[in-house]
Structure 1
């Protein structure tokens, strides 16, 4: 399946409010980035980071945070393994090269994780809707 069109869809919006997006395989043994915004930090999401997100032991996420593409994030709300929601809301912390923090939502489908990073000062709720809509669509397609 060609995933670049899904990234284009996640990036769409008027005015634009998504800075970057990624779709990652989440099945055990198949963890990888399937598609991402070219040149973005989310292109660097690692297998270990995907495994940490998918782990049933959620305590490390709150104790030490979550990493995405090597960047530390604070977990704000974790319902990834909740059948009604299947999302995590996080805040990417400022780095040495970028003093801003960004809202990110991660949504789980049957076989993948959808990661959507908002632009500066975009509230997490708006990003959550974008990720959740894509999650619902991909679930209807068996992904």
Structure 2
């Protein structure tokens, strides 16, 4: 399996503008592969650690940051064994609209998918779920 092929497959979706696969195991929190022109390339280990915290309520209170972009947590089922997903929305700025971001968790990685401004998180969840199932089938 080629990581670049996984990114290419995700980016072929009409409603996707950015994606990344990031290690989430302790000590392995780093970007494995990312869309070359995306902001997820700059996701830091500290940002991944913040997403993986056991204390989940602070995520709703304080939000999260991904690649230096502030986000609001809309739904957190990241540690739910059946779903393993999270929905985020970027915070609006003067120059940028808001974007939905869907995250899926596998044993070793987080998959991030950012949609176009008009995309709904539900549509992005289909993409991250499919990718997560594929990675799980390879032991990731």
TM-score, structure 1 as length reference: 0.94
Aligned to 1:21: 19
TM-score, structure 2 as length reference: 0.96
Secondary structure class of the residue paired with 2:88 = strand
Q: Deviations over 1:6-25 (max 9, x none)?
A: 11111112xx1100100001
Q: Which residue of 133, 138, 143 maps to 2:135?
A: 138
* More moved, 116-125 vs 1-10: 1-10
Segments of structure 2 that go 5 or more residues without pairing to the other structure are: none
- Runs of 4+ in structure 1 over 3 Å off: none
Secondary structure class of the residue paired with 2:139 = coil
Segments of structure 1 that go 5 or more residues without pairing to the other structure are: none
Q: Distance in 2 between matches of 1:66 and 1:37?
A: 20
Aligned to 1:73: 71
Aligned to 1:45: 43
Aligned to 2:55: 57
Q: Distance in 2 between matches of 1:35 and 1:94?
A: 26
Q: Shift of the alpha carbon at 1:61?
A: 0.4
Q: Which residue of 115, 121, 128 maps to 1:124?
A: 121
Over the aligned positions, Cα root-mean-square deviation in angstroms equals 1.1
In the comparison of the two structures, how many residue pairs are matched? 140
Q: Deviations over 1:71-127 (max 9, x none)?
A: 11000000000001000000011235x421001001000100000000110111000
Aligned to 1:110: 107
Q: Deviations over 1:29-77 (max 9, x none)?
A: 0110011111211111000010011111102101100111011100000
Q: Distance in 2 between matches of 1:127 and 1:93?
A: 18
